[in-house]
Structure 1
């Protein structure tokens, strides 16, 4: 089978769960004797039309670049919706598809992709599958969180998008981030320092918004609100070009089903670096600090500040011993008291996970957004580490509350209650660990890739498979 994947690009230029999953799936599909092609939104070349050029061959993957794509905002938001709805002629996409002649198109994102690409694939009757890594297209900031940090059920016909995207990247920033020069120097110390400074500014404004009441009502710009409404309609129309949705969790299926009539299946995901390393662990008694771990960006949407608020409350109202290690990018100011309770370790590499989990009693995943999956939870399972997970996280498909992990509703009351349970009863963690070690679960990417091949084949005759709640198996 010949599969055309459409993604944001390849490491190290692009990172994150979407890129990791796409890359690992492609490599495994090649090992299983499939032919794989990747198309990604590349750089801008002022003064010319959009076109596709052959980039290179990477580990057996034929890589093609869209020159002059739509802007790629990642999680930075959208200030000017019209720039994300520009049209492009279909002819160069038709020519490209005729040249490579794929059996399936597998979309991992709509970012940077013109609607005419999907229209070209539809006109040629090439089946299209889309993996729901996030909510871009429905939400300009990807997460479906409003400006107050709550879940966005109503975008006010675009009016609420204005406030959410007020601090979004400027057009020139997006342009520079898609240049060949940025791609080359992205991981230089200078660019890292600039990104950290930008992140600190945004974080400070978000925290200020939480503690300072609104005193001025900013009038809504009706023209801009309409543009955000048009933007959502534009991408919903693109989604209607998809033949089958690959939902990576029941959470993502629930969300997408609210916005359009979807056809597809839930298939939990994996990646090539996950290896079954489950083992029986020893947990200290209450006279020793409970070793808590948070892995992810120090950011509101990931629930970090909710977690810190809850732990600070426990510290002020109880004598329980605990310490939280924080691994991930982001900025936070520390008090002297914080320094005794929190350790900020900065970004981590995958090769560090075994050591990190060996020093972890409980992993906490406190996401406030409807996270479509969450690889870090799967990685904890693979090491036999219990996790306390927000029920907004798609990974909870693999958790039986109180059996192989703990779930909580993403509010301070429930999170505090669940944290106190494990702080007061360390044997509870031991039982969770034993249950994890005996649960029937498959971690291999090889198995998942085979299921995806079956899924591709099922698109031809619309016969999908029965429900199974096992990793890498349709359910």
Structure 2
């Protein structure tokens, strides 16, 4: 089977749960004998202005990288361009003509545009869309408003203006960061790589402030149109896979029909490498651990605030991961003074078992509607009890007082209580470990996905036969 995947970038040039999961699936399909292709937004070439395709390969996957995408990730304020852009559509059609896939699977739309679903359907290709985040509904992906609270009211597009246009970075600042992070091909960019973030933040400080008074109502209508357009495009797909039941529920609350939606979990490479820890006796100090991106919406500040209220001689907190916002990281470092908290920095895939070996209880303090939270599955796979926010897709996999504890999101007091639950009686860790069941769904994961493809192709063939009889 020839499968064309569509998404945003690829490791090791860009990291993220969705990128990791898509690549994991593609590699499995290659092992199964499928022909796998990947069309993705990618790097920027300052010597050329127009978008073009750079064809290359990785792990027997043929990659069609869209260089110089006109839709810059992180550059907001152009909602109509994220709906459809003729240059992106033109390059996509070229790839379709060359590959002629049996099925197309969309993973992410960032740096691309929503109309690609319509393009694929107009050319009669079967389409599967994997809803891994909320970008089709929210330009910043995480459904948080400008105050950092969950956004469930678009206010006819005005909340998008308040949230996104005010925080949009200048194009020059964004391009410096994009080049440093993604291409790493130009000597000048390499030279300033370590300073790119500070340069970006300084340039951003010169942006013009925006208010609702000087932004026309037409811009608000554009943001509203963007959401309606993406929902319309999603309805055209043959099958929609939601990464969790909550993700499906949120999209349906915004108007997406549930007829084609199937809850389908995601995977990561780490899940196939993690070795379950032995069940054993635990003694203080109890080591709590956080692994993943150090970002505001991940709630690391809530975790630190909660932990500082614990007896520091009976517990320690290890934070593994990389911060994408220097200001946020500086704030966190100020908070950990005179505590048993350690920032261990980024970790690689090869280090995952070494990292998990140090952790007795995992903590996932997200304050956004976490679409799934792959780190939850990684903790459970390692047979590590989890304390996690009762939000998003997390409750699909963390069963309260069985294999973990659920806490109120954005509530440091509740989180502190749940950590004390293990500190006061460390033997509870052993009890929780014994109740963690093996994760079965990621066995033969690509075969489960192939069944989805086969059902779509069967439905299409059935429809053709019925039309011939008519």
Counterparts of 1:196 and 1:381, CA distance in 2? 37
Q: What is aligned with 1:213?
A: none
Counterparts of 1:146 and 1:390, CA distance in 2? 19
Counterparts of 1:336 and 1:303, CA distance in 2? 14
Cα 1:221–1:200 shift into 2, 3 Å = closer
Matched, 1:442 2:427: no
Moved more, 374-383 or 20-29: 374-383
Q: What is aligned with 1:209?
A: none
How far residue 99 of structure 1 moved from its aligned partner, in angstroms, is: 2.5
Counterparts of 1:289 and 1:14, CA distance in 2? 36
How far residue 102 of structure 1 moved from its aligned partner, in angstroms, is: 0.5
**Residues 190-217 of structure 1, C-alpha deviation per residue, up to 9 Å, x if partnerless?**
3243226757999x9xxxxxxxxxxx99
Q: What is aligned with 1:324?
A: 317
How far residue 71 of structure 1 moved from its aligned partner, in angstroms, is: 1.4
Q: What is aligned with 1:237?
A: 232
How far residue 358 of structure 1 moved from its aligned partner, in angstroms, is: 1.6
Counterparts of 2:98 and 2:203, CA distance in 1? 46
- SS in structure 1 of the partner of residue 388 of structure 2: strand
Counterparts of 2:114 and 2:152, CA distance in 1? 26
Q: What value does the CA root-mean-square deviation take over the aligned residues?
A: 3.2
Corresponding residue to 2:451 among 442, 451, 454: 454
Counterparts of 1:320 and 1:99, CA distance in 2? 63
Cα 1:354–1:240 shift into 2, 3 Å = same
Counterparts of 1:453 and 1:5, CA distance in 2? 13
1:49-448 to structure 2, matched below 5 A, reads: 50=51, 53-73=53-73, 76=74, 78-85=76-83, 87-88=85-86, 93-165=92-164, 166-176=166-176, 183-185=183-185, 188=190, 190-195=192-197, 219=213, 221-223=215-217, 224-259=219-254, 260-262=256-258, 263-274=260-271, 275=273, 277-285=275-283, 288-312=284-308, 314-315=309-310, 321-330=314-323, 331-333=329-331, 334-335=333-334, 338-412=337-411, 413-436=413-436, 439-442=437-440, 444=442, 447-448=444-445
Moved more, 218-227 or 298-307: 218-227
How far residue 139 of structure 1 moved from its aligned partner, in angstroms, is: 0.6
**Residues 24-44 of structure 1, C-alpha deviation per residue, up to 9 Å, x if partnerless?**
111110110111011112446
Cα 1:365–1:337 shift into 2, 3 Å = closer
How far residue 417 of structure 1 moved from its aligned partner, in angstroms, is: 2.8
Counterparts of 1:367 and 1:34, CA distance in 2? 37
- SS in structure 1 of the partner of residue 270 of structure 2: coil
- SS in structure 2 of the partner of residue 343 of structure 1: strand
Counterparts of 1:283 and 1:18, CA distance in 2? 36
- SS in structure 2 of the partner of residue 69 of structure 1: coil
**Is the CA contact 1:88–1:114 (under 8 Å) kept in the aligned structure 2?**
no
Counterparts of 2:371 and 2:202, CA distance in 1? 26
- SS in structure 2 of the partner of residue 273 of structure 1: helix
Q: TM-score, normalised by structure 2?
A: 0.84
How far residue 341 of structure 1 moved from its aligned partner, in angstroms, is: 2.2
Counterparts of 1:36 and 1:184, CA distance in 2? 26
Across the two proteins, how many residue pairs are aligned to each other? 440
**Residues 259-279 of structure 1, C-alpha deviation per residue, up to 9 Å, x if partnerless?**
221412112122333235223
Cα 1:244–1:50 shift into 2, 3 Å = same
Q: What is aligned with 1:211?
A: none
- SS in structure 1 of the partner of residue 104 of structure 2: strand
**Is the CA contact 2:84–2:115 (under 8 Å) kept in the aligned structure 1?**
no
- SS in structure 2 of the partner of residue 22 of structure 1: helix
Q: What is aligned with 1:470?
A: none
Counterparts of 1:38 and 1:184, CA distance in 2? 21
Moved more, 360-369 or 396-405: 396-405
Counterparts of 1:283 and 1:319, CA distance in 2? 21
**Is the CA contact 2:299–2:410 (under 8 Å) kept in the aligned structure 1?**
no
Counterparts of 1:296 and 1:201, CA distance in 2? 28
Q: What is aligned with 1:41?
A: 41
The runs of 5 or more residues in structure 1 that have no matched partner are 205-215, 464-475
Cα 1:322–1:328 shift into 2, 3 Å = same
